[in-house]
Amino acid sequence: MVESRLSGPVRVVGVGLLGASIGLGLRARGIEVQLADASPTHLAIAVDYGAGRAAEPGDTPALIVVCVPPDVTADVIAAELAAYPDAIVTDVASVKLGIFDDLSARGADLSRYLGSHPLAGRERGGPLSGRADLFVGRPWVVAAHDGISYQRASVIDDLILDLGATLVEMTAAEHDRAVALVSHAPQVVSSLMARRLTEAPHSAVNLSGQGLRDVTRIAASDPELWVQILGANAEPVLEILRAYRDDLDRFIDALADPAAPGARRRIAEEIVGGNTGVQRIPGKHGVDRRFTTLVVMVDDTPGQLARLLNEIGEVGVNLEDLRLEHSPGAQFGLAEIQIVPEAAESLTEELARRGWRIAG
């Protein structure tokens, strides 16, 4: 069993995807986890799944992690602080400033509270979607404030590091502005784009490729949850969406008359701006490094993808990322393989020698 920084016990309130994953990750390190949830069914599933045991009267947790919907997070934190006067409390809500201000206005003991937010998730929710490795390599923000000592806050650092996440320290306001840009506004853009598909003819939708799937992947998210998140972080999201609207207006004006002087240049500049922006998105291990993409055709038969991956390993090339595309009706898929640029030529030659078809 891997050595743990935490000694526990840890109480997890709310055993959906994040709560169950935290429980599973801590239990894998031998830490006692006490689970609580408003839904007896969710609680029973999480216990059966191995995320911890059901909380009992008389429990004395050292750390409490609140994993409930954003609109009740402050209420639950205040109740936990009152019920367990010796425990440190954190939460995993995706908006931080409003919760902190609410607790401050109530006079809650902020010397025992420090908000946090793991930037990890899946398209599916609930305890059955929990994974012990959900947070590995993912950023986990700690919303620092002056009301809690470093010594008390260190137990939350231990939680984050034990679960394999990367600790990032920000103020609550900095966090909310950051997630508005990288998470909340993209959700709106994705949902609105996907909405264009609702009345589109089937003949058009059937042409969908990876580009549309990439843009709309997160549009399948839970509407109720996003109403809460966007309502709690409305101001910074509005700022980004208004700037985005200005960008769209410029693009629309250029497309309205593409032959007008300067129109094509304006379109090109907007596309180039996107090129520049996407280059800033961190890649593997959070490193801002560009990779070369090889597109390999993979026959739609059992074992072919596994053979491809195995042979890439045999060649001695490290696979940085992998994306699959399979068009309807086609008897093959496209594996987009990302590797370091210096390995591209040798891998292309070796795969071709082994009979693989390189599409790009």
Distance CA 140, CA 24 (A): 17
Averaged pLDDT for residues 312-321: 86
Give the DSSP H or E segment for 23: helix 17-27
> Does residue 74 have a pLDDT over 60?
yes
Whole-structure pTM value: 0.80
Identify residue 11 by its one-letter amino acid code.
R
What are the helix (H) ranges across 257-292? 263-278
Q: What whole-number percentage of the chain has pLDDT above 90? A: 68
Q: Within 13 Å and on the Cβ side, how many CA atoms surround 269?
A: 10
- Please state, rounded to an integer, the average pLDDT across all residues of the chain: 91
Distance CA 162, CA 6 (A): 7
> Does residue 265 have a pLDDT over 70?
yes
Q: What DSSP character marks residue 257?
A: S
Averaged pLDDT for residues 270-291: 75
Distance CA 53, CA 56 (A): 9
Q: What are phi and psi of 129, to 5 degrees?
A: -90, -5
Averaged pLDDT for residues 337-355: 88
pLDDT classification of 1: cutoffs 50, 70, 90: low
Closest CA to 176 of 138, 112, 229: 229
**Sheet strands (E) in 16-115:** 33-36, 53-54, 63-66, 88-91
> Does residue 228 have a pLDDT over 80?
yes
Look at residue 260 and give its three-state secondary structure.
Answer: coil
**Which residues are within 8 A (CB) of 117 and not within 5 positions of it... i.e. 6 or more apart?**
92, 93, 94, 96, 140, 141, 143, 175, 179
Report the pLDDT value the prediction gives residue 339, as an integer from 0 to 100: 85
Report the pLDDT value the prediction gives residue 285, as an integer from 0 to 100: 47
Q: Are 311 and 351 in contact (CB under 8 A)?
A: yes
Query: To 5 degrees, how large is the angle CA 306–CA 308–CA 313?
Result: 95
> Does residue 98 have a pLDDT over 80?
yes
Give just the sign of the alpha carbon dihedral 12, 14, 15, 19: negative
Peptide bond into 9 cis (omega under 30): yes
Q: Are 154 and 1 in contact (CB under 8 A)?
A: no
Report the pLDDT value the prediction gives residue 280, as an integer from 0 to 100: 85
Report the pLDDT value the prediction gives residue 300, as an integer from 0 to 100: 83
Report the pLDDT value the prediction gives residue 329, as an integer from 0 to 100: 60
Averaged pLDDT for residues 150-166: 95
Distance CA 312, CA 290 (A): 19
Residue with tokens 């549309």: 212
pLDDT classification of 125: cutoffs 50, 70, 90: confident
Q: Among the listed ranges 111-120, 196-205, 263-272, 297-306, which one has the minimum average pLDDT value?
A: 297-306
- State both tokens at 215: 């843009």
C-beta neighbour count of 134 within 10 angstroms: 22
pLDDT classification of 281: cutoffs 50, 70, 90: confident
Burial class (CB in 10 A: 0-12, 13-18, 19+), 174: middle
